[in-house]
Amino acid sequence: MSRLSIRTRLTAWYAGALAVGLGGLAATSYWAVHRSLHAAVDAGLRGRLEGTRQFIAQQLPGHSVRQITDEFQDHLVLALGPGFSLIQVCDSTGTVLYQADLFREAGVPPPLPDALPAMPQYEEARVAGRQLRMVTTRLDVEGRRFGVRLATLTDDIELALDSLRGPVFLLAPIVLAFAWIGGYWISALALRPVDTMTGAVQQITSRSLAQRLAVPSTGDELQRLAETLNSMLDRLDAAFRQIGRFTADASHELRTPVTLIRTSAELALRKTRTLDEYRQTLTDIALDAERMSMLVEDLLTLARADQDMGALPLAPIDLSALLRTTAPEAEQRAHSCGLEFSLCLPAMPLIVFGDTSVLQRLMTILTDNACKYTPPPGRIEWCVYSSDDTATIDVRDTGIGVAPDERARIFERFYRTDAARARDSGGTGLGLSIAHSIVTQHRGSIVAEGTGARGSVFRVTLPVAARRIHPLGVSPA
């Protein structure tokens, strides 16, 4: 992991990119100037090569080698232009027709024509401390072959190129130093809001989750970051409040049976009681203890579900078969509450991904509720059907129903409607929360609906793993 701060890394990237850009630009400009200067020199050399060829062609007829040499001495400047004398010419026997002083003094060997290629060879050379651009070639004139070397002094050009190189090397470190300082300053400026945000987030603790970050209206990444952090704080705040509420509710619900147990025991111990009185007290205590253990069991179920969300091992199961085997127990429960029970199932298997015992628990919760909140005479009905990719289980009853504005809230932990409290059904207010968590673990949904007349429908929808039923093929139980 890099230990450098974003600020340093940004600056380094910026300076690096600038160095590469500047280097590339300087190298390209230098190369372009170098090329154009040498192209101009080469063009001059080409012209003079042609001049030399014409000069030899004019002088050749009727002149001996000696005479041609003299002509070179006398008319070279006229033939090739003023200020131009760097030339070396020899014939195929190696006789030097003309040789500039510079070449002679430096001992440059004559260009023997037979050893030269037909195409002119351009090169740079340093001769007697002078910088030259040379062309060497052979010329065939009137059936005779000559070797020619022409050169131009390029000291001035090299001087000009040097003066171009100098500032680049000198200025580059200065420009880069300014770029580094500027980049560091700009990135510090750009990252300052992030520092401010970090400071503000550090101030937020579990006790001050209501605090929010100031959102800059810049429409950029920083605004998005502040909004994202704020929405995360919203979720954390809501979760913390929910946990707090849950703990308070759980303590409150546990306090009632504990108080009742304590009071019963203390009253019984105040004086000597008859055997029947002791039996009654112990029965009361056992009932309260049972209620307490049910509550603790429910709390544990929810705590585990919260912890292992999504960890339930799901396998393909036939929902119709599952409900068919669970129905007799539900029917018995309904009858014990003085209610009728009916079941409608598809004729064919309906495969969903699920956990058999957990889905049985779901059906028990919904049926127990239907029993608790349906005064006899009444009816409970399980109905299963499928549509497209979902399997639906309806648990209907003809009971007290749930007011529309309470239908969403009854799935909250410890939430009980006033009508339910009035019935004192002995519920803990956690049954539907557990049902909701079971359905969520099965990637499904659960809603409460009205039936139009009396009663309610709890509709569980689960995704189908494989569809093997005729949509209308239902078989009554």
Q: Which residues bind ligand ADP (CB under 6 A)?
A: 369-370, 372-373, 397, 399-402, 410, 415-417, 420, 427-433, 456
**Residue 460 vs residues 34, 42, 428, 442, 448: alpha-carbon distances, Å:** 82, 91, 21, 10, 9
Q: Measured from the CB of residue 430, what is the shortest distance to ligand ADP in angstroms? A: 6
Q: Which is nearer to ligand ADP, 187 or 326 (CB)?
A: 326
Q: How far apart are CA 301 and CA 413, in angstroms?
A: 12
Q: How far apart are CA 76 and CA 310, in angstroms?
A: 99
Residues in CB range of 379: below 8 A, 6 or more apart: 339, 340, 341, 342, 396, 397, 398
Q: Measured from the CB of residue 207, what is the shortest distance to ligand ADP in angstroms? A: 31
Q: How far apart are CA 160 and CA 17, in angstroms?
A: 29
Q: Measured from the CB of residue 448, what is the shortest distance to ligand ADP in angstroms? A: 7
Q: Which is nearer to ligand ADP, 386 or 433 (CB)?
A: 433
Q: Measured from the CB of residue 415, what is the shortest distance to ligand ADP in angstroms? A: 6
Q: Which is nearer to ligand ADP, 152 or 392 (CB)?
A: 392
Q: Which is nearer to ligand ADP, 149 or 416 (CB)?
A: 416
Q: Which is nearer to ligand ADP, 326 or 374 (CB)?
A: 374
Q: Measured from the CB of residue 449, what is the shortest distance to ligand ADP in angstroms? A: 11
Q: Measured from the CB of residue 246, what is the shortest distance to ligand ADP in angstroms? A: 13
Q: Measured from the CB of residue 352, what is the shortest distance to ligand ADP in angstroms? A: 23
> What is the residue-wise DSSP string for 29-46?
HHHHHHHHHHHHHHHHHH
> What is the residue-wise DSSP string for 225-268?
HHHHHHHHHHHHHHHHHHHHHHHHHHHHHHHHHHHHHHHHHHHH
Residue number of the CB closest to ligand ADP reads: 427
Parallel, antiparallel, or unpaired for β 390-397 and 350-354? unpaired
Q: Which is nearer to ligand ADP, 71 or 298 (CB)?
A: 298
The answer to whether 97 touches 65, Cβ cutoff 8 Å, is yes
Amino acid symbol at 286: A
**Element at 7 (helix H, strand E):** helix 6-59
DSSP-assigned beta bridge partners for residue 392? 385, 461
Amino acid symbol at 435: A
Q: Which is nearer to ligand ADP, 197 or 420 (CB)?
A: 420
Q: Measured from the CB of residue 459, what is the shortest distance to ligand ADP in angstroms? A: 12
Q: Which is nearer to ligand ADP, 249 or 397 (CB)?
A: 397
